[in-house]
Amino acid sequence: MIERVVDGLFAFCGLLGTSSDGAHTIDRDGVRAAVVPAAPERAVANSVVYRNADALEDVYDELASAYAEIGANWTVWVWPDDDAPGPFLEGRGHVLDAQPAAMIHDLAGLERPAPEALPDWTGDGDFSVVGPLNDRAYGFDTDSFTRAMTRRPGESTHVYVAHDDGEAVGCVLVTDHDGNADVESVAVLPEARGRGISGRLMQHALVDAAERGNETSTLVATALGYPVYERLGYRTLGRFAMWERATRS
């Protein structure tokens, strides 16, 4: 099951590697790195995921050089219960920055919320609002995701947006891969919270995902989003360790 979450992170890195000028991915055997010159200060935009820890060590110097070239902060997502990469990364200047939860949901038997519960939403939203919503929702004090997410991703990624009086107030990205719907970039503006927008928008997104033939959904949960996902029926598989290496303040 955890491999499905990792596959979702691979998909997310692929999205980041195509969504802005100069962005690209470095793909080596069992390793993918998103290199995003448009947002060098945002480590999560410059993420590395792997399927094999030995492969990560083998390509580490190449990745470090690529990120140094753009002056980027960057992070490596270490699997739950994978102890080997931590000391290796720490020895190369990384620090443990966060431990978000890996979560999964069986999509069988889902129902949509009542129409009046979220009257203004779309599953074919404007991708250009996703970056600004995430920047405002999470209080980053920069427009880093606005810069990192300017080009709509491929057809496997679906953009859900909720509106209030014509203004975009919440969003969810869902990327389909191999029967799994990976949820990314969930955000609701602070002034619109407490009204169930993210949960109801995700309910619509998950029902749609099931109708497209997906059997599961995965995501990586921040502390802010975790209670919402748990109420929706996601269960925790473990916690990733995000090992960040900073090159700028």
For residue 114, give every residue at least 6 positions away whose Cβ sits within 8 Å of its Cβ, in sequence order, or none.
none
pLDDT of 140 reads 76
Residue 119 backbone phi and psi in degrees, to 5? -70, -25
CATH second-level architecture of 105-237?
A: 3-Layer(aba) Sandwich (3.40)
pLDDT of 5 reads 96
pLDDT of 34 reads 98
- Whether the pLDDT of residue 193 is over 70: the answer is yes
pLDDT of 224 reads 86
Domain limits of the chain?
Answer: 2-101+239-245, 105-237
28-86 tens-digit pLDDT: 999 999 999 999 999 999 999 999 999 999 999 999 999 999 999 999 999 999 999 99
Kindly report the average pLDDT of the chain as a whole number.
96
Q: What is the Cα Rg of the chain in Å?
A: 17
The alpha carbon of 31 is separated from its chain's Cα centroid by a whole number of angstroms, namely 17
| 89's tokens | 């990364």
Q: Which of 214, 136, 199, 218 is nearest to 169 (CA)?
A: 136
pLDDT of 116 reads 95
| 199's tokens | 């949960």
72 CB-contact burial (10 Å; exposed 0-12 / middle 13-18 / buried 19+)? buried
124-171 tens-digit pLDDT: 999 999 999 999 998 878 899 999 999 999 899 999 999 999 999 999
